[in-house]
Structures are given as structure tokens and as C-alpha cells.
Amino acid sequence: MGPLYDAVGVGMWAYSNAAFRVVALGPRRFRLEPRTLIVSTHRRETDVPVIGPLLYFGGRLWRHRDERMSFAARDDMFLPGFFAGFPPDLSPRVRRLLFPIGVRRFLPRVQVYPISSASVARTGELLHSRRESPLEEVVPVAVADEFRSRAADRGLPPPRRSGDALRGDYADLLWLPVTREEAPDLDGFWGARAATASANFRRLVDLVRGGGSLLVFPEGRPSPDGEIGPLRRGLAALVRRAKPEWFLPIALAYDRLRRGRTRVVVTVGPRVEPPTENVEEATLELLRRSTALTCGQYVAHELLSGRDPDAQGLRHAVEEARSEQRPVDPELLDSTQLRIRLVEAMAAAKRRPGELPLLAREYASARGL
């Protein structure tokens, strides 16, 4: 486990520094104390390779091997074909090439463990469970129609049995979520899934109670609209049963309103004692207050509010954040750099108008607006 864990830590560092300008707020060196629950906002699918190196190198985990954190990950990462089915913008050819590849056997070696829903599954999981059954008996009619439409578009024979649809040409469709209410009649499938979800949860509880550190994303998925939250159910139960000694909050703020690589401001800590009541509400407030103010947030909020961003307004936002002990992107603390960034962000906003709603919502959400 050691060499692979180290290789992944270094690989994530190389990727994140090539793809982003990462700015870390918080201590450069620290120790991950036993029974620490690391709770992070979830902004993009790239969050883990951004966060991972900061914890790996900051905690000197290549040296303190017994302090290495574990990760609670979405359980579909453990399914075959994840890299073909999950990413949204792959070409059909790439999906077919990636479909046979799975990483399930490697994930426990880097301390990645699944967290599951008892009532939601991927379409491919249902099809695997009833390979010989007619397609329309296993998945909702609308989903079955999507498979047949795809077959017609690509000149493929229409899938009749569930097993016919388990191929790379349908990889993205195999990742469509299906709820228990949408497919209630699968013999034993949902009961077995509930048992698996319970076992996965107990593994995470035992890991923390046994002295380990665990990174979780309480929101469950990257924010689709910039909102910080809501948190999915389960965090309170994890805190109650795992009894962590510490919370280590992490919050990310991606700012694309600039030239070149996206700037990511990551706030790490400080650690706090876990909340003892209203766990979800207290954790959400902690994550919001840990999210750094960026120039892009301010510019987007002002533009979508019908106002012209200016240096005075940005300085006021910085002063307000600091008075409330909320983190601020360090480049906004220098007056000259603040003005330069404001001009740069205004120009970028014209080139990337699609970024504005998410950044504006993040600005408001971090302030509870």
C-alpha cells in the first residue's frame, strides 16, 4: 500500500499544479491527529486531486505512514467502466476504449472506501443483476427508450435483454441513476443494496473509531449551481457512531475569471471539535465560513445584480470578510494587485459569461444570503 499511496499523492500534486494555480490558506505543516474527520466542500470533480497533495505534503504522510488519511468515495467508482461512463464529455470511441478498464482492486490499496445509497443505483448495476431479463422489465421505460434510441442512431442492434446493453456504446447511459421507486420489482436487488450500504457505512465508522482520519464530502456531489450545500443525510449518524475527536474543515473556491489557469483558493482548518447537536447545520455553516472570498465571486455577484464592480466595492467586500474572520484570497490584500485583478476579472467575465451564475451563487452562499 505504501508505494502506491505515495505515487498517487505525487501524481495528484503534479496534475493539480499543471491544471490550476493552487493557493493554500492555513498551516503549511501539521499533523493529522487520530480520529480526525476531514469535511470538505465539493465544488468540482477535481477537488480530490487538489486537496490530496495539500494533506499529503502538509501532513508529511510519506513519513507519518500511520497517520495517512482514508477517503470516502462514491461507490460507482468501484464499478467496471467508471472512466467510460461517468465523465460527461467523452467521444463514443473513447468510451468504448475505456469501458473494459476498472480500478476497483486498486482503490483499497490507496485507502479509498465506498459510501453507498440504499435507494439509488446506477442503471448498469440493475442490468448486471438481471442480465437475461428483458430490458424494459429491469429499468424504467424512459431509460429503456434511451438505449434503443442510441442503438438506432449508431446502427446497432436494439438491446432486448439487459445483458445486451452492457457495452461501451452505452457507457454513459449505464451511469444514469435509478431510484427504488422507479424500479421497485427487482427481486432481492434493493435488499442486497441496503445490506451493502450498511456494511460500507460500518467500515467507515470502524475506521474512524479505530484511530484513522477520513476525508468526506458531506454534499455528496459537486455543486451544480454554486450553492454551498445542502448536505446529504448521513453525516450526523457518522459523527454519532464514529465519535471523531476532531473536525478539519476544508473549503475550495475556484476562480476562472482570470487569464491562464484557474486559481483555486483552498482553506485548510483550523481544526475544531465536532458539533454535538444539529450536526448538518453546524457543519454547513462551518464550510460556508471557511470558503475564501475571491475576485471572481465579487465580480460575478455585482454583474448579475445589475451593478458595475469597482475597486471600492471589492475593498469593502474584503474588509467585511476579514471583520467576520472569513478567509480572503491573498492577492486581494494588496491594493495594487486588487485593482489589477479587478480589471482582469472584468475582461474574463465577457469571455466566460457561463461562469458568472456559479461564482455569484458561491459568493452569496458563503455569506448565508
Identify which has the larger pLDDT, 304 or 88.
304
Instruction: Give the pLDDT of residue 87.
Output: 82
Which of the four pLDDT bands, split at 50, 70 and 90, describes residue 369? confident
The contacts of residue 221 (CB under 8 Å, 6+ apart) are 42, 74
pLDDT at 354 over 80: yes
Mean pLDDT score of the chain, rounded to an integer? Answer: 94
Instruction: Give the pLDDT of residue 350.
Output: 96
Please give the Cα distance from 280 to 245 (Å, whole number): 17
Give kind and range of the element (H or E) at residue 115.
Answer: strand 112-115
Instruction: Give the pLDDT of residue 191.
Output: 93
Residue 185, class by beta-carbon neighbours within 10 Å (0-12 exposed, 13-18 middle, 19+ buried)?
exposed
Specify the DSSP class assigned to residue 179.
E
Give the pLDDT confidence of 278-306 residue by residue, as tens digits. 999 999 999 999 999 999 999 999 999 99
Instruction: Give the pLDDT of residue 304.
Output: 97
Q: What is the mean pLDDT of residues 53-65?
A: 93
Query: Grid coordinates representing 305?
Result: 445584480
Instruction: Give the pLDDT of residue 28.
Output: 87
Model confidence, pTM: 0.92
Q: Which is nearest to 295 in space by CA: 360, 244, 251?
A: 360
Q: What is the mean pLDDT of residues 230-238?
A: 92
Q: Which is nearest to 248 in space by CA: 50, 72, 36, 69?
A: 36
The dihedral of CA 279, 284, 287, 289: what is its sign? negative
Contact of 39 with 249, CB cutoff 8 Å: yes
pLDDT at 207 over 90: yes
